[in-house]
Amino acid sequence: MNKGQPGTGPLVGAEFGISAEKIMETLGQAGYKSTSTRRVVVDLILRRAGYFTAAGLCEDTRLIAPGIGRATVFRTLDLLNELGLLEKVHLADGSHRYTICQSQRHHLICASCGSASFFEESSLSDLLQQLAQRTRFQIRGHRLEVFGVCEKCQTTEAQSLALAT
């Protein structure tokens, strides 16, 4: 976490109806052990707002529980992603970030600075309904990542061009 003591902020996941107990229960139902080390990682994830990196989570884990290694953090992230509890967002530069899974997330990703943000688009739901009807395909979910240049980077690029001329 970037501000304050890691692991002491509000449980952001609660906003989305996600609790550590629910995640640990899902792990158990999928045949995985509910270990105390996984619980620490899950608690730290649930205190993060928005997107986060594995490196940042590893740093926070090291500060809270030095005995938990990077491999455990990465395996937990992969497992939670595989179970649909976390979403792995691929950035334009090939790196990725994670975010707590919500229903049908859409992402805008800046190819210049790597920032990512969520967006909702109701007409996309209509389009998916039409697609399902037309193709007789039962859509169970979707993922949308839109790559471009954010407003801040556009401004910076415009200023750089103005200075160059």
pLDDT of residue 19: 85
Dump pLDDT digits (tens) for 121-154: 777 778 888 999 999 998 767 777 788 899 999 9
Dump pLDDT digits (tens) for 81-122: 888 788 888 877 788 889 887 655 677 888 888 777 777 777
Taken in order of first residue, the domains within the chain and their CATH numbers are: 1-96 (1.10.10.10), 103-165 (3.30.1490.190)
Helix (H) or strand (E) run with residue 110 in it: strand 106-110
DSSP reduced 3-state for 111? coil
Model confidence, pTM: 0.62
pLDDT of residue 108: 85
Q: Which residue carries 């109701």 as its tokens?
A: 122
